């Protein structure tokens, strides 16, 4: 997390650059040697206990997969000593947090490395991911997630559920800034409610997988390109609010004003979309 204010000289450089001036300032804060920390936390003693797990990440790359024999395991690789992860365990609450970057000069940003590559195990999780401007590759299929919350800034993020969530998820919430985000296999997430909030950007929500119960979806987005992938055969009703500029849909969708429906059998999706302007594509 970057909580320190940039030095005045760096801020001035950014302003002048925006005005068309080019100023090259010397790097006064270099990166250090590349360090890799091993992270491994044991499974809870009570297998029925839900673990409240938070991952607080700044800028860099975050990779998350299933398949660990531990509660969480993997590596944190970085070349800024301040980025060393801090692990806090308080009963069933676990937090892994990136350290603060203590800026003392003009940083060598181009050569910064900060990567987390973690795997989760067979415990039941209430999972929260907090991040800044980062790249994320999250494979969450086959885990046991009771809730999932992701909050990030300018992200380039992919989240996938390749296999069904092993427990019923109450709420899946994703809040992001101006980003490129792809959520796939969402029916496998086994959620009751999904809330997606975003600024301008490109977003794809793919509801492929096995939909086990009726589910509601709320989407609030700004000037964006939004694609919804809803496989044929899943009953769906989509209600659109806002000054949307364009809706594109293929065969199988019926329109009544601002409401689009797809016929099918079994559990249904009810989707509310509030969009300032932009493009919505409905596809299978």
Contact 36, 84 (CB under 8 A): no
Residue that wins the pLDDT comparison between 22 and 140: 140
Q: What is the pLDDT of residue 2?
A: 44
Residue 94: how many other CB atoms lie within 10 Å: 20
pLDDT at 1 over 50: no
**Greatest CA separation found in the chain?**
64
Between CA 112 and CA 58 the distance in angstroms is 12
Q: What is the pLDDT of residue 105?
A: 59
Contact 224, 192 (CB under 8 A): no
pLDDT digits (tens, 9 = 90+) for 52-81: 999 999 999 999 999 999 999 999 999 999
Q: Give the 3-state secondary structure of residue 206.
A: strand
CA distances from 125 to 4, 10, 47, 168, 215 (A): 32, 41, 11, 11, 20
Question: Quick one: pLDDT band at residue 13, thresholds 50, 70, 90?
Answer: very low
Between CA 117 and CA 153 the distance in angstroms is 20
Q: What is the pTM (predicted TM-score) of this model?
A: 0.88
Q: What is the pLDDT of residue 110?
A: 75
- 33, two tokens: 């040697």
Contact 125, 170 (CB under 8 A): no
DSSP track, 70-133: SSEEEEEEESSGGG--EEEEETTEEEEEPPP----S-B-GGG--EEEEEEE-SSEEEEEEE-SS
Contact 123, 43 (CB under 8 A): yes
CATH architecture for the domain at 29-283: 3 Solenoid (2.160)
Q: Give me the residue spans of the domains in the chain.
A: 29-283
- 213, two tokens: 């119960």
pLDDT at 4 over 50: no
**Which residues pair with residue 281 across a beta bridge?**
227, 248
pLDDT at 3 over 90: no
């Amino acid at each position: 997390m970057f909580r320190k204010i940039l030095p005045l000289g760096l801020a001035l450089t950014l302003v002048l650059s925006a005005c068309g001036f080019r100023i090259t300032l010397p790097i006064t804060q270099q990166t250090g040697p590349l360090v890799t920390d091993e992270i491994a936390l044991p499974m809870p003693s009570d297998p029925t206990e839900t673990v409240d797990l938070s991952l607080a990440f700044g800028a860099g790359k975050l990779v998350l997969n299933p398949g660990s024999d531990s509660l969480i395991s993997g590596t944190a690789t970085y070349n800024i000593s301040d980025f060393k992860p801090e692990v806090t365990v308080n009963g069933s609450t676990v937090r892994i947090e990136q350290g603060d970057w203590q800026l003392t000069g003009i940083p060598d940003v181009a050569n910064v490395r900060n990567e987390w590559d973690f795997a989760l195990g067979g415990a039941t999780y209430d999972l929260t991911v907090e991040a800044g401007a980062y790249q994320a590759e999250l494979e969450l299929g086959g885990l046991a997630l009771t809730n999932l919350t992701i909050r990030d800034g300018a992200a380039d993020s992919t989240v996938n559920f390749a296999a069904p969530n092993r427990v019923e998820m109450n709420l899946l919430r994703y809040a992001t800034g101006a980003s490129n985000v792809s959520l796939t296999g969402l029916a496998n997430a086994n959620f009751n409610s999904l809330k997606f909030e975003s600024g301008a950007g490109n977003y794809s929500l793919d509801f492929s997988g096995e939909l086990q119960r009726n589910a509601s979806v709320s989407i609030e987005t700004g000037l964006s390109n939004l694609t919804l992938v809803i496989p044929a055969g899943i009953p769906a009703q989509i209600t659109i609010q806002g000054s949307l500029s364009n809706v594109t849909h293929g065969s199988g969708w019926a329109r009544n004003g601002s409401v689009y429906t797809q016929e099918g059998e079994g559990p249904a999706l009810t989707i509310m979309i509030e969009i300032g302007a932009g493009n919505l594509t409905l596809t299978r």
